Amino acid sequence: MTKQCFFKQHNIEHIDYKDTEILKKFLNPHARIQGKKRTNVSATNQRKLALAIKRARFMGLLPYVAK
Partner 1 sequence: MTETAKTAGTVYEVGFHIVPTVSPENLPQEVDAIKALLGAEKATIISEEFPKLRNLAYTMIKPIGPARHRFDTAYFGWIKFEGPKETVAEFDKALKASDKILRHLIVKTVRENTIYGPKILAEEKKEARADEPKTDKADKKEVKEAAPVDQEELDKSIDKLVA
14 binds partner 1, rule: CB under 8 A: yes
43 binds partner 1, rule: CB under 8 A: no
> Between residues 27 and 46, which has the closer beta carbon with respect to partner 1?
27
64 binds partner 1, rule: CB under 8 A: yes
Coil, strand or helix at 45: helix
Distance CA 29, CA 7 (A): 22
By CB under 8 A, name the one of 21, 30, 37, 43 that touches partner 1: 21
Distances (CA, A) of 43 to 34, 62, 64: 13, 22, 23
Chain contacts with partner 1 (rule: CB under 8 A)? 10, 12-22, 55, 57-64
